[in-house]
Structure 1
């Protein structure tokens, strides 16, 4: 058993496993050579850096710089995410809330991405923010800080995946109902939506598990598919605009918070859920560090670059829709809670044409669900291999034939399907799923940023993605946003509040808090020793060597 200074020892691997992994690694190198890609010494150096951080490489590094950036883009899937959450800013204030809320949140999340990028350049591992919190924290509180962060990261990744798949089910139902006029084609009641959600969840898990080797190419396809779909929608709705176009003052300045019932300022803030939801996956790409060729440099660049790309793509998508959007109150009263199909139908005037334009968004929803499923399984696996989740010995296993942590993926799927049952008790279930995902991921991102700031940012100063004073300002903005977002997205979208329309994000968040806290005192306080790390100085020495190789 390997000895790790000052921390727990990580379990030994069998000779059979080592042989299998070495064979898979050689196969990957052979594939790269056969495709004309020159073998880079730092491709193996990344595994050596991982070993310096206390882990044996168990997943094959197949993603290039562009491919990890593409996956980060697909995790957000901006046009799809903005479509399924259009309702929140619509009743929060209308056009001004939709466009300026998205722009404002994107700029804030850029600060979060920059802050996490600084840290990830120093500690690139699938444990992500949980591992980083451990390494950055003082020994006096590192166990509890990493425990809270890890549980928040896992729960957030699982519930945001649930929100994506459930949102796709609702959106698909709304798309189908454009053929039925005001009555719709089918009722889309709770059990119908749940069955659609079940089918989507099973499909995304099957693609992620069985098609792992092709996922980077699927992400690449998604980029071109997204741009083609956005262009088709924008051109058609603006060119046809059957019912006319709104003027620019309406698109950029109309603010009507009366539909939510909240005071104007708070109503605008609640409408920020749309922007927060589509950018909440920012840090999930860190979970893929052990499948990326040069994670210390590629992942930080992908996080920051993708936010800028998403901001541009989102504005190009939203602004034309606002120019052709029908009456705000009419959209707010839709039984489906999905305004986008009606907006496009209002502009195009033909159900067949409307559905054709919606197909790119439906497909993008499935691709986003697959990417989120993949990332959620990796962070669940990473947290399990350090014994922090009940039954860890099952969830930390990697399926050698599929090259995926299949058991962790199945655990994540089972939790999603169970939480999906909330839909039978509340028609506002989607708000709860998206809200809890945003809350938990926001908390998990805030913890390592906070402990890094408390430590004077000394360790991130040694990284290859250090931003100096700009990074310090980004840290402060990121933490200020976290303080606002956590209580904000527990609030109902509108008042008066009823049991059916209550936002149950606060209930799920409290349940997670109780489970994680109870497990800590039952088992974690005595047995949990954190990740199997070496001293920071050893990791830093190896990181400097790897970074130097990357820059050659």
Structure 2
């Protein structure tokens, strides 16, 4: 006999209130039906529509922007040819992965996303503990992405200041860290005070995203110096001294993966999207398809403009060489600052969307009592209709993580790189759960977006790619041989990732397992 749950005793009036709440907050009949099935109460307003969520995912990924800003690892281990071919491969595999995630999101459109999928679709014995661990890792992955975005913003500003005012003396660790603090605070404030305008802002910034792509592309095509095509498409580089160039390219995957990571951002906003179960999968696919076209075009163009690879990846290289390349192409401080300012604006809103996704993940997980002080974190004031307390948690943790930059660049880099690993693991666990159901011949939930007979092969391709990406997320830039610099050379992401898993396991054992409400326990059978 199925155990009784508190919600089974709710009155008809209370159930009707939940249905009415979905419609009053901008939902459709399908949204109402799905929230009822999952046992969730509509607390957030459904402000987003299709274009807004396409903009949200597109701006969060910022694929073409990141090909200009986060290409160092791929160029160091892979070179121009390696990073181009790896970016194309990552895009193709990511489309398979997003199709798999989109199918899951269509079956269960909830802000919890991965940990909810696992709770519903994993084998019964693993549903509760695995979803709990993944919930913690998703919170880690998203929150650690906030200082990563802030660091990029601070770095671009630093490059522009040093270009226009070489004697300014800007570039010390404490200066960059204070700038990161400022951007984190501003983006959190935007999410609190302008949340109702976020869908409109994402639509406008989506236009700037496309406009900026052509502005940079035409500038680099027309005005920059170019190298022959042979140097672009056949020049591989093994800067880390790995046993083979192929291995070096795999280690350099962190750059293209960073350019596409975070497609689950849309899923975390599903309780704020109208008609989520059909609009969300399409938005995730279209956003990544468009971003992939722009990203591949931009990375090829960028590699044509690298006239001296040693300058880009050498000891005297800058963290963001695109500023020097734009200045070299235009010969104008004003033009460089205008294009740099456009890049800053786009990355600022990428950080805004990262904060929004992180807060919804934290809010949803605390709603299911997965975090300490969950009752306070998940509280949503009816007049605000946004998870302010969860935003404040993201603000606090992100500031603490950023503060590490005062004393150790190596430690901060590890925290930033673990974002990739934590999110990739959550994708593996989610897609692996539904793939296992397919292998066992178990029926899946009815869905308005289904992969049909292609579901199994697409899941397999996704899992193979994600496993490779997960393993190489923990590799250092070059082999660690010991000596006085081993600590800075070592990739500490594996320590942080493992430590989070251990901490979550301990918390689960000492009481978290008793208080955690696995989402599957709230699901109502049709």
Deviation at 1:44, TM superposition (A): 4.0
1:55-134 to 2 correspondences below 5 Å: 55-134=40-119
Match status 1:391 vs 2:373: yes
Measured at CA, do residues 472 and 25 of structure 1 come closer, stay the same or move farther in structure 2, by a change above 3 Å? closer
TM-superposed CA distance for 1:507, in Å, is 2.5
Equivalent residues of 1:136, 1:459 under 8 A apart: no
- Counterparts of 1:300 and 1:153, CA distance in 2: 20
Which secondary structure does the structure 1 equivalent of 2:438 belong to? coil
Separation (CA, whole Å) in 1 of partners of 2:64 and 2:4: 47
Aligned partners of 1:233, 1:184: CA distance in 2, in Å? 28
Match of 2:436 in 1: 454
1:430–1:8 CA distance, 2 compared to 1 (3 A): farther
Structure 2 equivalent of residue 32 of structure 1: none
Q: CA deviation at 1:19?
A: 9.1
Where does 1:273-288 land on structure 2 (aligned, <5 Å)? 273-288=254-269
Shift of 1:178: 2.1
Question: What is the distance in 1 between the residues matched to 2:327 and 2:416?
Answer: 26
State yes or no: 1:174 paired with 2:156: no
For 1:456, what is the secondary structure of its paired residue?
A: helix
Aligned alpha-carbon RMSD (Å): 2.6
Matched, 1:328 2:313: no
Match of 1:302, SS state, is helix
Match of 2:498 in 1: 510
**Is the CA contact 1:115–1:474 (under 8 Å) kept in the aligned structure 2?**
yes
Given the superposition, is the C-alpha separation of residues 246 and 464 from structure 1 closer, same or farther in structure 2, using an over 3 Å criterion? same
State the Cα deviation string for residues 432-474 of structure 1 (Å, max 9, x = none): 2432111011111111211111122644473222223422122
In 1, the alpha carbon distance for the partners of 2:34 and 2:446 equals 15
**Corresponding residue for 2:450?**
466
Which of these residues, 169, 178, 193, is aligned with residue 195 of structure 1?
178
The answer to whether the 8 A contact 1:108-1:478 is kept is yes
Structure 1 pair 251–466 and aligned structure 2 pair: CA distance change class (3 A) = same
In structure 2, do the counterparts of structure 1 residues 523 and 54 end up closer, same or farther at CA, with 3 Å as the change threshold?
Answer: same
1:260 aligns with 2:260: no
2:131 aligned with 1:149, yes or no? Answer: no
Other structure's SS at 2:107 match: coil
Comparing 496-505 and 121-130, the one that deviates more: 496-505
Alpha-carbon offset, residue 8 of structure 1: 6.6
Task: Report SS of the residue matched to 2:288.
Answer: helix
Equivalent positions of 1:371-410 (< 5 A) are 371-410=353-392
Distance 2:410 2:328 in 1: 25
Question: Offset of 1:353 from its aligned partner?
Answer: 2.1
Runs of 4+ in 1 over 4 A off after TM superposition: 4-13, 18-26, 532-536
Q: SS state of the match for residue 500, structure 1?
A: helix
Q: 1:184 to 1:112 in 2, by over 3 A?
A: farther
Shift of 1:79: 2.5
How many Å separate the matches in 1 of 2:5 and 2:86?
44
TM superposition score normalised by structure 2: 0.91
Q: Secondary structure at the match of 1:499?
A: helix
CA distance in 1, matches of 2:420, 2:81: 22
Matched, 1:239 2:222: yes
Q: Is the Cα–Cα contact under 8 Å of residues 76 and 278 in structure 1 kept in the other structure?
A: yes
Distance 1:472 1:131 in 2: 21
**2:37 pairs with 1:52:** yes
Q: Give the conservation status (yes or no) of the 8 Å contact 1:324–1:347.
A: no
How far the C-alpha of 1:119 sits from its partner, in A, is 1.3
Say whether 1:489 aligns with 2:473: yes
Q: Which residue of 2 aligns with 1:424?
A: 406
Stretches of structure 1 lacking an aligned partner (at least 5 in a row)? 30-41, 539-552
1:161 equivalent to 2:143? Answer no
Change in CA separation of 1:227 and 1:306 when aligned onto 2, cut-off 3 Å: same
- Matching residue of 1:214: 197
Which of 285, 299, 306 pairs up with 1:304? 285
| Aligned counterparts of 1:265 and 1:9: Cα–Cα separation in 2 | 55
CA distance in 2, matches of 1:160, 1:100: 25
In structure 2, the CA distance between the partners of 1:119 and 1:216, relative to structure 1 (3 Å rule), is same
Instruction: Check whether the contact 1:7–1:532 (CA below 8 A) recurs between aligned residues.
Output: no
Conserved in 1, the CA contact under 8 Å of 2:437 and 2:444? no
The 8 Å contact of residues 5 and 534 in structure 1, kept in 2 or not, is answered as no
* Matching of residues 2-21 of structure 1 within 5 Å: none
C-alpha displacement of 1:320:
1.9
Contact 2:74 2:255 in 1 (8 A): yes
- 8 Å CA contact retained: 1:63, 1:292: yes
SS of equivalent residue, structure 1 residue 453: helix
Is 2:53–2:273's contact at 8 Å kept on the other side of the alignment?
Answer: yes
Uncovered stretches (5+) of structure 2, i.e. residues with no partner:
none
Separation in 1 of the partners of 2:210 and 2:122? 42
